[in-house]
Structure 1
């Protein structure tokens, strides 16, 4: 059984999250990536929830069939403000959902908490094990009054120090691929800030530590150069590998030339040097002289016969 692709889990989750806050989405994508690296398949089942959707969910087990799954009326759920998601685990191939709250489930919650989320499994009374919310301590009542977590906490604005999430993770990966030394963990701390400023300084950009448009453009340009260089190196390696094997159309003649001592059998597709050409010509000369020596009588008789024909 092959494992479900990370991209599949990410794409499914993006679709199911809907219109959550950008910071929530960014951090959740990193969570899925980190869990995947630990052999845990996690997927988001829901994210933003409209008032109408919240009312329908609240009615379940009360005015409509099913079990009661929430105590929150419209406006009373953090989901209504785009600051919460629900998750589940999947089988190895990603074909089925699993809802058992085991060590893997709790590990996902720990990753979420490291990114600033609160976990419903820590609640007393009405525990909600699939629930993760990014409120920085604010309640639904605070949100209903118009309060919100800080812009930095929600990764709003240009990616910079204090942010954490998938964007930072990808930035770190790109910088590392250019040879910069930094930890690739999705947290934009002092180390990442230092490297971003170093990159900006090297390329005569404004040194502010912000991963803004000009820094993004320059980084992508440098990565393209690396990609081209890597492709050229790969082609060179392929050519070097091919030089060790003769082409199909020349294989038979090449083997015969080796047997006759004209070449040592190495670099069949490489360019011949003047020294090698001299050796081949000299070996041919010696071989012709040896053939003539062995067949002097035959050649002399053949010469006389030709002379008679010409009379």
Structure 2
């Protein structure tokens, strides 16, 4: 992403829950190779007053003031803003995914296409420095640590699976148990199995081969 550092810096200033959803939206853009610039998120009261005076904004109850809004624009491969591209397929993808996450789009209002805002539980209800996870209130640092722990556990689980698979692949071949020894010898003698790995698991393709060989054995036996 051309403006990755700038985008992430802007997103970091949003309120907690709005920030989490914006990061999901931003990752969607990355995954789909859609270049965007998030050029504004939180806004000061002084800036909002100037915007209203200039006619750029229409209200002092802007969702930018409470960290629940962002303004964005598509950019080309050189980083140039595409201000007339809010009705293109890529813009549709960004806006539709944002709405799926719960954002409202200013494009639907017909006059503020760059604007996305998140209602959460109402104007000014989102928090700074804490989030609600499964009904429990966590600080952002606690949430970050929790996500880190989950990621580490998932990584450990993957590594354990790899170790187990490797151990099974490299274990020495075990002979069949005594109670199965005669049957196993019969299977080998009549070509039903090649005799390898007597205590290993069977795949479906191995089962089909053994059943086919059994059928061939029975056909030969009863045709005599």
Tell me the TM-score normalised to structure 1 length.
Answer: 0.42
Counterpart of 1:78 in 2: which secondary structure? coil
How far apart are 1:105 and its partner, in Å? 1.5
Counterpart of 2:149 in 1: which secondary structure? helix
Per the alignment, residue 92 of structure 1 pairs with 77
Per the alignment, residue 70 of structure 1 pairs with 57
| C-alpha distance after superposition, 1:119-138 (max 9, x if no partner) | 111115xx200000001484
Q: 1:18 to 1:34 in 2, by over 3 A?
A: closer
Per the alignment, residue 217 of structure 1 pairs with 149
Q: Which has the higher strand share?
A: 2
Of 76, 87, 92, 1:106 maps to: 92
1:43-62 mapped onto 2 (5 Å cutoff)? 43-60=37-54
How far apart are 1:35 and its partner, in Å? 2.2
Q: 1:223 to 1:23 in 2, by over 3 A?
A: same
Q: Is the 8 A contact 1:18 1:48 kept in 2?
A: no
Per the alignment, residue 222 of structure 2 pairs with none
How far apart are 1:29 and its partner, in Å? 1.6
Per the alignment, residue 188 of structure 2 pairs with none
| Structure 1 unmatched runs, 5+ | 61-67, 162-210, 231-311
Distance in 2 separating the partners of 1:134 and 1:226: 36
Q: Is 1:31 aligned to residue 25 of structure 2?
A: yes
Equivalent residues, number: 154
1:1-311 mapped onto 2 (5 Å cutoff)? 5=1, 8-17=2-11, 19-60=13-54, 68-72=55-59, 75-93=60-78, 95-100=79-84, 101=86, 102-123=88-109, 127-136=111-120, 138=122, 143=123, 148=125, 157=131, 159-160=133-134, 216-217=148-149, 219-220=151-152, 223=155
Q: 1:223 to 1:76 in 2, by over 3 A?
A: same
Moved over 4 A (4+): 158-161, 211-216, 224-230
Q: Is the 8 A contact 2:71 2:114 kept in 1?
A: yes
Distance in 2 separating the partners of 1:215 and 1:55: 39
Q: Is the 8 A contact 2:11 2:23 kept in 1?
A: no
Distance in 2 separating the partners of 1:35 and 1:218: 25
Between Structure 1 and Structure 2, whose CA radius of gyration is higher? 1
How far apart are 1:48 and its partner, in Å? 0.5
How far apart are 1:37 and its partner, in Å? 2.3
Q: Is the 8 A contact 1:17 1:45 kept in 2?
A: no
Q: Is the 8 A contact 1:32 1:43 kept in 2?
A: no
| C-alpha distance after superposition, 1:16-58 (max 9, x if no partner) | 3463202112211211221232231122110111101111222
User: What's the Cα RMSD here?
Assistant: 3.5
* Greater RCO structure (CA 8 Å; 6+ sep): 2
